[in-house]
Amino acid sequence: MPYQPNPNFEPQPHKDEVDYPAWGPPNRFARRRSPVQCRNCTRLGHTIAKCMIPRSDGYVHGCALCNTWTHQTDDCRGLDKMHKDDILDLFISNRANMPPLLATKCWYFSLYVYKYFKGPTIETGYPWTPEFGISVLNTPDLRIWATDAMELGVFWMRPVDPRMSSWEKVQETLGGTRPDFQELLQCPCSNCEEDLRELERIIQEPRYTIT
**What burial class does residue 137 get, using C-beta atoms within 10 Å of its C-beta: 0-12 exposed, 13-18 middle, 19+ buried?**
middle
The verdict on residue 143 lying in a domain is yes
Residue ranges in the chain whose pLDDT is less than 50? 1-23, 190, 206-211
How far apart are alpha carbons 136 and 174 in whole angstroms? 20
pLDDT of residue 51: 95
Q: Could you give the C-alpha distances from 17 to 30, 67, 120, 132, 151, in angstroms and in order?
A: 10, 18, 43, 35, 16
The verdict on residue 9 lying in a domain is no
How far apart are alpha carbons 124 and 84 in whole angstroms? 18
The verdict on residue 50 lying in a domain is yes
**Helices assigned H by DSSP within the chain:** 84-91, 107-118, 130-138, 140-152, 167-173, 179-186, 193-203
Amino acid residing at 100: P
| Residue 83 phi, psi dihedral angles, 5° rounding | -70, 150
Residue 60 β-bridge partners: 101
pLDDT of residue 104: 86
Query: How many residues are given for the chain?
Result: 211
The verdict on residue 74 lying in a domain is yes
The verdict on residue 210 lying in a domain is no
How far apart are alpha carbons 44 and 58 in whole angstroms? 20
The verdict on residue 8 lying in a domain is no
pLDDT of residue 200: 64
Amino acid residing at 107: W
The verdict on residue 124 lying in a domain is yes
**Residues 45, 20: contact at Cβ < 8 Å?**
no
State which H helix or E strand residue 209 sits in. none
Strands 31-32 and 18-19: antiparallel
pLDDT of residue 18: 41
Amino acid residing at 132: F
Residue 31 β-bridge partners: 19
Considering its fold, how many domains does the chain have in total? 1
Amino acid residing at 121: T
Pick the closest to residue 107 from 180, 210, 38, 184 (CA basis). 210
The verdict on residue 102 lying in a domain is yes
Range(s) of the domain holding residue 161: 15-203
